Amino acid sequence: MSTIGYDSWAVDLAEVGPVYPFQGSEGLMVVLGVIFWIAWHRIQFVREGEHLKKAKQMGDREKIHSLLEKY
Partner 1 sequence: MDGNLNALTTVFTEFYYWVTVVFMFLIHVGFCMYEVGASRHRNHMHTLMKNIMIIPLVTVTFFFFGWWIYWAFPSFPFFGGLNHDAGSANLPWSQNMGTNLSDRITGVFWAAFLLFSWTAASIVSGAVIERIRSSALWVHAVMIGSVFWIIDAAWGWHAEGWMVKYLGYHDAYASGVIHAIAGGYALGVIMVLGPRLGKFAADGTPRDIPPHNPWMLTIGIFLIYSGFWGFYAACNIPAISPEGIGGLITGETWTATNIYLAPTSLSAITFNFLMSLSGGLMAAYVVSRGDAFWTFSGGLAGIITASAGNDLYHPIQAMLVGAVGVVIVYKLHYWVERTFKIDDAVGAVAVHGYSGVVGLIISGFLLWGAPSSPYEGFAAVNPVGQTIGAVIMFGVLGWLPGFVIAKMQAAAGVLRIPEEVELQGLDYAEHHAYEDAKAEIIAADKAAVNGGGVPAE
Q: Binding of partner 1 at residue 8 (CB under 8 A)? A: yes
Asked if residue 52 lies in contact with residue 59, where contact means CB atoms within 8 angstroms, the answer is no
CA angle 7, 8, 12 (to 5 degrees): 125
Q: Does 24 bind partner 1 (CB under 8 A)?
A: no
Question: Residue 61 CB, nearest distance to partner 1 (Å)?
Answer: 26
Q: Does 53 bind partner 1 (CB under 8 A)?
A: no
| End-to-end Cα distance, the chain | 64
Residues binding partner 1 (CB under 8 A): 1-4, 6-16, 19-22, 26, 29-30, 32-33, 36-37, 40, 43-44, 47
